[in-house]
Amino acid sequence: MVFLTSLATTVILSAQVASASSARDEHGFSSHAWNECLPGPLVHPEHPACPTAFSEDNNDPNTPWTHPPSCTGSDANYCVFTNAAFPRTRGRHGISIISLHPNATTSPSPISSIEESFLISSSQHHHIAEPDSDPPYEVRDIHSKGKGLVATRLIPRGSVLMVEHAAIVADALFPISVRRDQGRLLLQEAIARLPNPDEILGLATSSKNPNAGVPAAEDVLKTNSFTVTVAGRSHFALFPRIARINHACDPSALTKFDGKTLTNTVLAFRDIKPGEEISISYADFGLTSQERQRTLLQKWGFKCTCSLCSAHPAEIAASDARRLEIKELGEQVLQHVEKSDFSKAVEVNEKLWNAVSAEKLVSHMGDHFEVMARLCLAAGDRKGAKEYARRALAELNGFYHGAEAEWASVGELEELVAKL
């Protein structure tokens, strides 16, 4: 899925040779009284004690943090920023962010952008309706998997199952940028500041031996986090409820992350029947069987036994062959686009998506039809471009049910159809 999304984006951008680039907003650093200390229960000899935390009932929208930031490292470059009262909706679990100090000299800190676009201005963002009042699933014991989510009624393809704000967001570089003991203290403090730390610490871990020396906080983050992009930087993000969803290489659901609101949305990848376990893919879509098993074993500590991985060896070999073909055809499409041979790109892209459909790597054909529309337009085929754009709109609106149109290029496609 990641490869295909990247391919679609690259093809679209390459085909739009006449479009102007969008300007990016730049955010300056906010002014705060930064505290180079370790607050809360984790007092450490290297750090002075912090003042009493701000009130967790603070309703001032201009005060994004309920605790003074806690910083550590040789230059106090990394800090924990916490809002224990976030989000201001039912089921709040708070949020702790481990990020660069805003005055860090190593690289720009994203924390000011997060404050302005997410915490301080959160009321200006659209509000996504969560199906929490009557969720179509329940937590059950799953044989050999521990806990998992099971559908309680039919969930149509494209339906929103869950929308959850992150509870922990950590800069992906922080573990290798501070001493191990400092990093562990930051992570432990990030969790301890939340209203219900046990909700996080009670999640599954990958360590088979609880006495292996890996702190629970570190093990939980490693086992349950997503890799996401926030303010242009790679981060690990943990979503407590979504973490209950087990893995399958042929999943029944997928996730969509919004870097502006730090929310992750779970959608039905296909129709999910009552009594069926809801699953997502922990590994990137498109990997071969050996690549998937290696990734899952190294990061999550288990060998996958889903229906795809347990299939007959001949079926697994055929699947791997299609996935290798998909990668090769994708590279060919990009090569033709770079050479401005858009007619050939259209031809190869059809072969690519036939293989993608056979392998069931996408939940809808909207992206394919959009790419074809762009390629046809670049090749001078206005009639073909209009037809594919119409088909893309039908697919995208049908899958997202009109609720999450901003994830797709619906507006741009509507303009394209109107102009053709």
Same domain membership, residue 217 and residue 168: yes
| Contact status, residue 149 vs residue 139, Cβ threshold 8 Å | yes
The band of 244, judged by pLDDT with boundaries at 50, 70 and 90, is: very high
Q: How many CB atoms lie within 10 A of CB 155?
A: 24
Q: Could you tell me the CATH number of the domain that includes residue 10?
A: 1.25.40
Residue 248 backbone dihedrals phi, psi, to 5 degrees: -150, 140
pLDDT of the residue at 40: 34
- Kindly report, residue by residue over 230-241, the tens digit of the pLDDT: 888 899 999 999
d(CA 50, CA 55): 14
Rg (CA), the chain: 23
407 and 320, same domain (yes or no): yes
| CA 70, chain centre distance (Å) | 26
CA neighbours closer than 13 Å in the CB half-sphere of residue 112: 15
The pLDDT mean for the chain works out to 79
Of 241, 260, 280, which one is at a domain's C-terminal end?
Answer: 280
What's residue 118's pLDDT? 60
358 domain-assigned = yes
Domain shared by 176 and 319, yes or no: no
> Which whole number is the average pLDDT over 274-280?
96
Do 273 and 315 reside in the same domain of the chain? no
Span 91-147, pLDDT tens digits: 678 999 999 888 766 677 788 777 765 654 455 444 444 555 789 999 999 988 888
How much of the chain exceeds pLDDT 90, in percent?
A: 38
- C-alpha of 288 from chain center: 21
- Which one, of 269, 184, 176, 167, lies nearest residue 218 by Cα? 184
- pLDDT for position 27: 29
Tell me the residue range of the domain where 315 lies: 2-16+311-419
The more confidently predicted of residues 359 and 54 is: 359
Q: Where does the pLDDT of residue 14 fall: very low under 50, low under 70, confident under 90, or very high at 90 and above?
A: low
> How high is the pLDDT of residue 397?
79
Together in a domain, 413 and 363: yes
Q: Are residues 163 and 271 in the same domain?
A: yes
Give me the pLDDT at residue 288, please.
94
Residue 227 domain-assigned? yes
User: Both 319 and 262 in a single domain?
Assistant: no
Confidence of residue 400 (pLDDT cuts 50, 70, 90): confident
Q: Could you tell me if residue 25 is inside a domain?
A: no
* Cβ neighbours for 155, distance < 8 A, ≥ 6 positions apart: 136, 137, 161, 268, 271, 272, 278
In a domain, 239, yes or no: yes
Same domain, 77 and 223: yes
Domain boundary residue, one of 223, 257, 280: 280
Residues 107 and 159 in one domain: yes
Whether the Cβ atoms of residue 78 and residue 171 lie closer than 8 Å to each other: yes
Q: How confident is the model at residue 49 (pLDDT cuts 50, 70, 90)?
A: very low
pLDDT tier for residue 89 given thresholds of 50, 70 and 90: low
Clarify whether residues 209 and 321 are in a common domain: no
* pLDDT digit string, tens, across residues 256-271: 898 888 889 999 999 9
Is the confidence at residue 18, as pLDDT, over 50?
no
Are both 207 and 325 inside the same structural domain? no
CB 73 within 8 A of CB 83: no
User: What was the pLDDT predicted at 17?
Assistant: 45
Query: Is residue 63 one of the residues assigned to a domain?
Result: no
- The DSSP call for residue 265 is E
Residue with tokens 């570089």: 173
3-state class of 401 per DSSP? coil
List C-alpha distances in Å: 31 to 1, 34, 35, 111, 159: 40, 9, 12, 12, 42
**Whole-number Å distance between alpha carbons of 264 and 252:** 16
* 354-370: average pLDDT: 85
Give the pLDDT of residue 103. 77
> Is 316 or 364 the better-scoring residue by pLDDT?
316
Q: What is the pLDDT of residue 232?
A: 87
Is 162 part of any domain?
Answer: yes
Answer with the residue of higher pLDDT: 195 or 25: 195
62 within a domain of the structure (yes/no): no
CB-based burial of residue 270 (10 Å sphere; 0-12 exposed, 13-18 middle, 19+ buried)? middle
When divided into structural domains, the chain yields a total of: 2
Supply the pLDDT for residue 108. Answer: 75
| Tens-place pLDDT, residues 169-183 | 999 998 888 889 999
Task: Give the least confident one: 137-146, 154-163, 212-221.
Answer: 212-221
Question: Residue 141 sits in a domain of what CATH number?
Answer: 2.170.270.10
Q: Where is the domain boundary, 231, 264, 280?
A: 280
- Bridge partners, residue 66, by sequence: none
Residue 363: pLDDT over 80 = no
Residues 121 and 231 in one domain: yes
74: confidence class by pLDDT, cuts 50, 70, 90: low
Residue 302 lies in a domain: no
Walk across the sheet containing 253-258 and list its strands.
160-165, 263-268, 253-258
